[in-house]
Amino acid sequence: MIPFPDSPVAVLCSGGDAPGMNAFLRAIVRLGLNRHKVPVLGIRGGYRGLVRAAKQVNGEADELVRLKQEITANTGNRGLIDAKMSIIQMDHASVSGIMGKGGTILGSARCLDFHKPEVRRSAIQLLENLGVRALVVAGGDGSLTGAKLLAEESNLKIIGVPSTIDNDLQFTEMALGVDTAVHTLVWAVDHFIDTARSHRRVMVLETMGRESGDLARMAALASGAEMVITPEGGPLTEEAMIAYAEEIESAMTRGRGHAIVLIAEGVKFDPPQSRNGAYILRDAFQKYFQREGAPFQDLEVRPSVLGHLQRGGHTTPGDCILAARFAEEAWKAILDPNGSNGITALQHNKATIVPFGCPDLPERALSSVAMDRLHDDLSSW
């Protein structure tokens, strides 16, 4: 029987999946095996998988032995194909050929139970009993909050890795998945432009992004979309929507033949609305364009909520490279005896480790304002 790995590093993906998670997993495993000679345990299903394994063991010595035997007997791909296994000892073959694939081979999930201190304590106890020296958590804001709690409540080394297409983590210039999501949005806009030009239409496309408009504004700049509406502009009133419609109509009187409007999902409305923003905007635009005496009464407005299309697809080289850089920084922090817990970040184009709860980069807000102004000047007709 293969002996249970000594002082392994554990890694999990949590929350919404993001392109680049697989590339990061490959990098963290390969660096562990090749450079540092440290084994890596993959935890399936994020915090949920960790909690499930802790419940199975339930502090029982016999169950812990059984779990260790199960892990060592089913390494790599053999463990990955067994849906009942929550913890897998990763090997070279198990991360081969996954770098460009979206999603995560370990699976990801949200785990409400992890909000309970007693649940976290049982998870910490399991990791300590397995001899885990560090836990690496790839995920977004909620996942990194969970990692911060583990760092405060345990003696484990905890390293977070920002992985979210929303790019709403203000301490890093980019998170894993953003570059791929922007590429996917540009691809989508290119396809919508074809039909918008053919039929002289206004296409309103709703992007992801939670409370941040970064994904929408980057996609607007890269695709040539005529208009972008983000949460940072404040709640949309009826007057504001009419003003946007007037802007489109005015451009069409000067020769523009179509319009692509990107609206971020985090945009709020005044008064509040329960429907998707793309449909609310469609109705407001259509009403304005069809008013009596309007010059383009036959102008059609078509909405589309792009949704989880943005999460998938082949991971871009930019995200694959960032994943490798983040993995290298994570290993430096893990093996540094004087190193502390923290999160990988890209600051001034340099991969680094920042502490949990570190302040936002002031450049991020300034960059968003600058991008909005640049887009306005590029899209005006």
Instruction: List residues with catalytic annotation.
Output: 166
323 CB-contact burial (10 Å; exposed 0-12 / middle 13-18 / buried 19+): buried
Instruction: Give the type of residue at 301.
Output: V
d(CA 362, CA 349): 15
Burial 211-244 (b: 16+ CB within 10 A, else e): ebbbbbbbbbbebebbbbbbbbeeebeeebbeeb
Residues 6+ apart with CB under 8 A from 268: 231, 234, 235, 236
Secondary structure class of 309 (helix, strand, coil) = helix
Query: What's phi and psi for 203, nearest 5 deg?
Result: -105, 125
Q: Are 351 and 345 in contact (CB under 8 A)?
A: yes
d(CA 216, CA 52): 37
**What single string gives the DSSP state of each residue in 131-193?**
T--EEEEEE-HHHHHHHHHHHHH-SSEEEEEEB-TT---TTSS--BTHHHHHHHHHHHHHHHH
Q: In what order do the strands lie in the sheet containing 227-229?
A: 227-229, 259-264, 201-207, 300-305
Extract the tokens encoding 103: 């999603």
Q: Which of 223, 235, 221 has the alpha carbon at shortest distance from 367? A: 221
**What single string gives the DSSP state of each residue in 246-287?**
HHHHHHHHTT---EEEEEETT--BSS--SS-HHHHHHHHHHH
d(CA 159, CA 9): 11
How far apart, in Å, do the first and last CA atoms of the chain sit? 71
